[in-house]
Amino acid sequence: MKNVYQLSPDEVLAQEKSQLSGLTTAEADQRLATNGPNELAQGKKKSMFMRFVDQFKDFMIIVLLVAALIAGVVVHEWADAGIILAVVILNAVFGVFQESKAEEAIDALKEMSTPNARVRRGNEVLTVPSNQLVVGDIILLEAGDVVPADLRLIESANLKIEESALTGESVPVDKTTAPIDQDQVGIGDRTNMAFMNSNITYGRGVGVVVATGMQTEVGRIAGMINAADETTTPLQDNLSQLGKSLTIMILVIAVVVFAVGMWRGAMSLPEMFLTAISLAVAAIPEGLPAIVTIILALGTQKMVKRNALVRKLPAVETLGSTDIIASDKTGTLTQNKMTVEKVYYDGQLQDASADITGDNPILRIMNFSNDTQEQADGKLLGDPTETALITFGQTKGYDLKTELDEMPRVAEVPFDSERKLMSTIHQMPDGRYFVATKGAPDELLKRVTQIAMPDGVRDFTEDDDAAILATNKRLATQALRVLGMAYKFVDTVPEPVDSTTVEHDLIFAGLVGMIDPERPEAAAAVAEAKSAGIRPMMITGDHRDTAEAIAGRLGIIEPGDDAAVITGAELDEQSDEEFSKNVDKYSVYARVAPEHKVRIVNAWQKRGKVVAMTGDGVNDAPALKAADIGIGMGITGTEVSKGASDMVLADDNFKTIVVAVEEGRKVFSNIQKAIQYLLSANLGEVLTLFMMTMLGWDILAPVHILWINLVTDTFPAIALGVEPTEPGIMKQKPRGRASNFFSGGVGSAIIYQGLLEGLLTLGVYFIAITWPVHSGYSAIHADALTMAYATLGLIQLFHAFNVKSVHQSLFKVGAFRNKAFNWAILASFILLAATILVPGFNGLFHVTSLDLYQWAIVIGAGLLMIVIVEVVKFFQRRRA
The residues annotated with a catalytic role in the active site are: 328
Neighbours of 39 (CB within 10 A): 17
- Gap between the Cα atoms of 425 and 412, Å rounded: 6
Instruction: State how far the alpha carbon of 567 is from the alpha carbons of 186, 390, 543, 550, 600, in Å.
Output: 10, 33, 8, 15, 12
Closest CA to 516 of 352, 370, 337, 383: 337
Instruction: State how far the alpha carbon of 775 is from the alpha carbons of 700, 738, 765, in Å.
Output: 27, 59, 19
Give, in degrees to the nearest 5, the angle at Cα 41 between 39 and 44: 150
Strand partners, 648: 309, 632
Instruction: State how far the alpha carbon of 173 is from the alpha carbons of 161, 340, 517, in Å.
Output: 5, 19, 19
Q: Write the DSSP string, 310-369.
A: ESSTHHHHHHHT--EEEEEIIIIIB-SS-EEEEEEETTEEEETTS---TT-HHHHHHHHS
Non-local (6+) Cβ contacts of 832 within 8 A are 707, 708, 711, 712, 790, 793, 794, 797
Is-contact 108 643, C-beta < 8 A? yes
Q: Containing H/E element for 863?
A: helix 852-879
Q: Write the DSSP string, 503-526.
A: SSSEEEEEEEEEE-PBPTTHHHHH
- Gap between the Cα atoms of 77 and 307, Å rounded: 46
Strand partners, 458: 451
Non-local (6+) Cβ contacts of 431 within 8 A are 491
Non-local (6+) Cβ contacts of 193 within 8 A are 4, 5, 150, 151, 152, 153, 187
Number of H helices, E strands in the chain: 34, 28
- Gap between the Cα atoms of 369 and 81, Å rounded: 78
Q: Is 62 helix (H, G, I), strand (E, B) or coil?
A: helix
Strand partners, 433: 427, 490
Is-contact 108 639, C-beta < 8 A? yes
- Gap between the Cα atoms of 379 and 666, Å rounded: 42
Non-local (6+) Cβ contacts of 845 within 8 A are 701, 703, 704, 707, 789, 835, 836
- Gap between the Cα atoms of 182 and 191, Å rounded: 12
Single-letter amino acid code for the residue at 417: S
Phi (first) and psi of residue 840, to 5 degrees: 100, -30
How many residues comprise the chain? Answer: 880
- Gap between the Cα atoms of 456 and 268, Å rounded: 113
Is-contact 149 133, C-beta < 8 A? yes
Single-letter amino acid code for the residue at 800: A
Closest CA to 532 of 719, 283, 728: 728
Kindly provide the residue ranges of all beta strands, DSSP E only, lying in 417-561, ordered along the sequence. Answer: 421-427, 433-439, 448-453, 456-459, 481-490, 506-515, 535-539
- For the chain, what is the radius of gyration of the CA atoms? 36
Closest CA to 44 of 220, 233, 225: 225
